[in-house]
């Protein structure tokens, strides 16, 4: 099962799933190869992004540092994605990932196939590779050192530009961007060990909540609770829809932790509009760290983007609208956070069970309310939330466009009221909708927590800045492609899950038999495959038997120069 070097391309290795065509050929006694796999999640993921030529487009635009490519770029990108898919970042671990994962199965036996090591008798991979430079038999599609050197040599600025321009351009080509055009701007610290060899990292003072602080403004007691930490900063643009069904990273920038995120974020917005045109980004949701009147005005007037952003309590516009609220000039209405069922409700749920569940939920709600009242002091017990809107304000003097203010009032059990204000460059008809849209921004905190805890976003295995950027870029690329994949297969409810939990829910409970024929593959259960074999006619059975024996003999002798165990 070897191919000429000229034939070893993504097109030659990609097998389109067509169960009917392959089984029909098998019934005539025709097939190329057969493989049994126990995990098809990663295989299906790679098939999905390759069928749409996403992998091919990623390779065509990648800012490669190499003048010569013994290993095709799509193999490097697929291998890097496969590592991040499994939450692995050390390139030395690539052989273990490729043997246990499903990437090789997505590209068929020409990429690699299972074999028995002649000395250890362990099941491993045999890969024909892409050149004749190895002294030993290949057990991975490419050498881990090739992955590391390519990543290290890739210029970090070019890599981030590739992500912001070409990767997002692929999303645009495939109509991934939602028509509502909602984007969220955010900045997050990436902490590393306190080692001065981390290239470009900043050493900063953080409080117990990981917020940067100025030691000159703290009392000795406050300073005792703070810690000096070394860090980078990730500034990103994330795309979603009103329901928060998915979160795609559309642009990013990794910088030193001390760099201010505000100008960097608006620079990313400028680049996005320059690269992809107006009309894709329609609403930009930000936190108060990005307050800049001139830039907010530019977004509205020059880029056609409406901004939704909260204000600081010290700002004149906050003082003015709260004064209007306390003076009774605003029309407040009650607001409740939308709730969703944690578990899907069966379509045909019996009436008896429905009534019993409703009664149970009412009882639980009363108990929770009683516990809250008992445990919390009156000044911290929230009774209700209300919202109102003040239209076309010009108090934010540095902003050249009028703003609508969504005024949020929280009423507590002791009678005191607390206000917070969100500004919008768009006309606000319903302040409740505006507050709900802003709630999408807070979900980003959970996404970053998941990426750091379950995808090891900041668990850097190198202190070289180019490798740090490579890890961030490919983790976020893999995360975004997986979100897209889950949308395509109708499993968007899994997008809110952690990466390990998502993969657990996607894994099959039985082994699949893959039959390869020409450029197609069939997925059969063991029983389906057994039925197919037992119903063959005599002519087809003899052809398959002869082909099977030929393959078995060739596979038994494939390792001629194995590595020492």
pLDDT of residue 343: 54
Strand partners, 144: none
404's enclosing H/E stretch is strand 403-412
| pLDDT for res 344 | 52
Domains and CATH numbers, the chain: 5-154+508-556 (no CATH), 156-310+439-501 (3.30.420.10), 316-338+350-434 (no CATH)
**Which pairing describes strands 333-335 and 520-524: parallel, antiparallel, or unpaired?**
unpaired
Amino acid 123: pLDDT: 61
Averaged over successive runs of 10 residues, the pLDDT of the chain (565 residues) comes to 40 72 91 72 80 90 88 90 88 82 74 69 69 70 88 96 96 93 95 94 92 90 92 95 90 96 96 95 95 95 95 93 92 80 57 83 80 63 89 92 94 87 95 91 84 84 94 94 86 75 64 83 86 91 88 64 56
Q: What's the confidence (pLDDT) of residue 5?
A: 38
pLDDT confidence of residue 502:
72
What was the pLDDT predicted at 471?
95
Q: Which of 122, 109, 25, 139 is nearest to 514 (CA)?
A: 109
The pTM assigned to this predicted structure is 0.81
Query: What is the number of residues in the chain?
Result: 565
Give the number of other Cβ atoms within 10 Å of residue 291's Cβ.
20
Taking the alpha carbons at both ends of the chain, their separation in whole angstroms is 24
Three-class SS state of 560: coil
Angle at 379 (CA atoms; ends 376, 381), nearest 5 degrees: 50
One-letter-per-residue 3-state SS of 124-151: EEEECCCCCCCCCCECCCCCHHHHHHHH
- In the structure, how many helices (H) and strands (E) does the chain have? 20, 16
Provide the pLDDT for residue 506: 67
DSSP state of 93: G
Helix (H) or strand (E) holding 410: strand 403-412
Contact 400, 296 (CB under 8 A): no
Res 412: pLDDT: 87
Q: At CA 564, angle to CA 563 and CA 565, rounded to 5?
A: 110
């Amino acid at each position: 099962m070897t191919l000429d070097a000229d034939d070893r391309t993504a097109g030659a290795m990609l097998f389109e799933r067509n169960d009917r065509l392959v089984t029909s050929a098998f019934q005539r006694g025709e097939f190329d190869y057969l493989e049994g796999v126990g995990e098809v999640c990663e295989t299906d993921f790679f098939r999905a992004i390759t069928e749409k030529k996403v992998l091919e487009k990623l390779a065509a635009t990648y800012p490669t540092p190499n003048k010569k490519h013994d290993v095709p770029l799509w193999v490097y990108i697929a291998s890097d994605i496969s590592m991040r898919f499994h939450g692995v970042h050390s390139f030395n671990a690539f052989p273990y990932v490729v043997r246990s994962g499903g990437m090789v199965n997505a590209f068929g036996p020409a990429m690699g196939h299972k074999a028995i090591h002649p000395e250890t008798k362990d099941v491993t991979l045999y890969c024909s590779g892409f050149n004749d430079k190895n002294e030993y038999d290949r057990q991975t599609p490419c050498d881990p050192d090739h992955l590391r050197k390519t990543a290290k040599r890739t210029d970090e600025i070019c890599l981030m530009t590739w992500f912001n321009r070409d990767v997002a351009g692929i999303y645009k080509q495939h109509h991934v961007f939602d028509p509502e055009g909602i984007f969220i701007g955010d900045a997050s610290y990436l902490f590393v060990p306190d080692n001065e060899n981390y290239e470009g990292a900043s050493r900063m003072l953080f409080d117990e909540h990981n917020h940067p602080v100025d030691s000159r403004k703290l009392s000795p007691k406050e300073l005792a609770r703070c810690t000096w930490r070394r860090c980078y900063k990730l500034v990103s643009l994330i795309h979603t829809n009103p329901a928060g069904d998915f979160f795609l990273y559309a642009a990013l920038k990794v910088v030193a932790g001390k760099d201010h995120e505000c100008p960097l974020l608006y620079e990313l917005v400028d680049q996005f509009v320059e690269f992809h045109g107006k009309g894709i980004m329609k609403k930009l949701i930000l936190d108060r760290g990005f307050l800049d009147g001139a830039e907010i005005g530019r977004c509205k007037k020059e880029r056609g983007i409406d901004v939704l952003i909260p204000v600081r309590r010290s700002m004149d516009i906050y003082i003015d609208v709260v004064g209007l609220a306390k003076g009774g000039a605003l029309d407040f209405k009650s607001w409740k956070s939308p709730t969703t069922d944690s578990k899907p409700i069966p379509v045909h749920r019996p009436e008896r069970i429905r009534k019993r569940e409703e009664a149970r939920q009412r009882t639980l709600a009363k108990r929770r309310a009683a516990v809250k009242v008992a445990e919390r002091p009156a000044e911290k017990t929230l009774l209700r939330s209300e919202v109102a809107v003040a239209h076309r304000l010009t108090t934010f003097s540095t902003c050249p466009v009028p703003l609508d203010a969504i005024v949020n009032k929280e009423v507590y059990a002791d009678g005191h009221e607390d206000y917070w204000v969100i500004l919008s460059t768009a006309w606000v008809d319903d302040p409740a909708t505006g507050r709900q849209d802003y709630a999408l921004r807070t979900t980003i905190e959970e996404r970053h927590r998941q990426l750091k805890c379950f995808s090891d976003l900041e668990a850097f295995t190198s202190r070289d800045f180019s490798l740090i950027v490579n890890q961030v870029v490919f983790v976020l690329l893999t995360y975004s492609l997986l979100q897209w994949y889950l949308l395509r297969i109708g499993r968007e409810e899994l997008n809110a899950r952690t990466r390990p939990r998502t993969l657990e829910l996607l894994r099959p409970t039985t082994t699949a038999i893959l039959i390869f024929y020409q450029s197609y593959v069939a997925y059969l259960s063991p029983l389906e495959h057994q039925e197919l074999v037992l119903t063959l006619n005599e002519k087809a059975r003899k052809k398959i038997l002869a082909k099977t024996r030929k393959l078995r003999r060739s596979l038994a002798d494939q390792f001629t120069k194995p590595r020492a165990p």
